[in-house]
Amino acid sequence: MIRRFRAAVFAPRERSLQSRAVHSHYSPTMIEFYYHPSPNPEKIALYLEETGLDYELMPVDTRKGEQHAPAFLKINPNAKTPAIVDTDTGATLFDSTAILLYLVDKTGQYRLPEDPVERGQALSWLMFIATGIGPYSGQCVHFRHFAPEGNDYAVNRYDFEARRHWGLINDHLADRQYMAGDTYGIVDMALWGWGDRVPFILDNQGIWSEYPHIKRLLDEIDERPAARGARALKSRHAFKTEMDDDARRHMFPQNAARG
């Protein structure tokens, strides 16, 4: 359950904790959710909405460079979203897969299977999304849509790898309803975070005819109230949408470093 929305993201944490202390209606459990409307944060948005965990939305406008603010780097030294602060335990966490696993332990909801074999297999797919789907899709988007011209080799490589990865997911879903086990869970949520970007990643609006099993699962998740709640978060803040020179400097600092 989203509790409230704070527009000023980078008020020092000490101050936000102080302000919480004077409002006795706060429950002891509150997740500060550092969010940008992008695939990895959207996995966490979906989990938070599914579980009803009490959270506060903390927008991080990465196209304005807010990920590099010293206050945010104390929470995520990797300067990316998502990240969370669990004010119940004081934990700061970053990286979407680690956050999902932490929140599962915290809430007990959407646990991975207990059976060691099923659990290992679920983790295989969860890690495949974290280390394969995400990075290859991300680099495919970068070289195809955002990098300067002249990257044919890189576009070819990442397009090939992204297609191959999404194809493996589609094949996996051909004879099963969900990514792991018999029920909807965090591996499906992790997939959903990236899923609606596939036509953009592969620059093909007709791509779903090649990946019908992925589309079937994404459509099913989209029908869930939690998915609608997660999608609605992006309209709670006026995130910058232009990928102009300033945004490129913030998001691709290797270019700025070369001057």
Residue type at position 240: K
Residues 6 and 71 sit within 8 Å (Cβ to Cβ): no
State the helix-helix crossing angle for 225-232 and 39-51, rounded to 10 degrees. Answer: 130
Residue 91 main-chain phi, psi, to 5 deg: -70, 140
Handedness of CA 68, 66, 17, 229 (dihedral sign): negative
Q: For ligand GSH, which is the closer residue by CB, 192 or 206?
A: 192
Q: For ligand GSH, which is the closer residue by CB, 51 or 67?
A: 67
| Cα 105–Cα 110–Cα 116 angle in degrees, nearest 5 | 75
Hey, what are 91's tokens? 């934990």
* Smallest separation (angstroms) from ligand GSH to the CB of 9: 13
* Smallest separation (angstroms) from ligand GSH to the CB of 36: 6
- Please identify, among the stretches 47-55, 95-103, 206-214, 219-227, the one whose residues bind ligand GSH according to the rule CB under 6 A: 95-103
Q: For ligand GSH, which is the closer residue by CB, 43 or 163?
A: 43
* Smallest separation (angstroms) from ligand GSH to the CB of 96: 4
* 100-159: contacts with ligand GSH (CB under 6 A): 130, 134
| Cα 108–Cα 112–Cα 118 angle in degrees, nearest 5 | 155
Residue type at position 147: A
**Candidate residues 16, 51, 96, 170; the one interacting with ligand GSH per rule CB under 6 A:** 96
**Candidate residues 40, 51, 87, 170; the one interacting with ligand GSH per rule CB under 6 A:** 40
**Candidate residues 39, 59, 132, 181; the one interacting with ligand GSH per rule CB under 6 A:** 39
87 touches ligand GSH (CB under 6 A): no
d(CA 33, CA 9): 10
d(CA 253, CA 49): 33
* Smallest separation (angstroms) from ligand GSH to the CB of 197: 9
**Candidate residues 67, 87, 137, 170; the one interacting with ligand GSH per rule CB under 6 A:** 67
* Smallest separation (angstroms) from ligand GSH to the CB of 63: 8
95 touches ligand GSH (CB under 6 A): yes
Distances (CA, A) of 225 to 50, 220, 231: 8, 11, 10
State the helix-helix crossing angle for 186-195 and 39-51, rounded to 10 degrees. Answer: 140
Mask: binding to ligand GSH, 8-37, rule CB under 6 A, as x and -?
----------------------------x-
- Please identify, among the stretches 16-24, 80-88, 145-153, 223-231, the one whose residues bind ligand GSH according to the rule CB under 6 A: 80-88
| Bridge pairing between strands 2-5 and 91-94 | unpaired
Single out the residue of 36, 130, 30 nearest to residue 83, CA to CA.
36
62 touches ligand GSH (CB under 6 A): yes
* Chain positions contacting ligand GSH, by CB under 6 A: 36, 38-40, 62, 67, 80-82, 95-97, 130, 134, 251
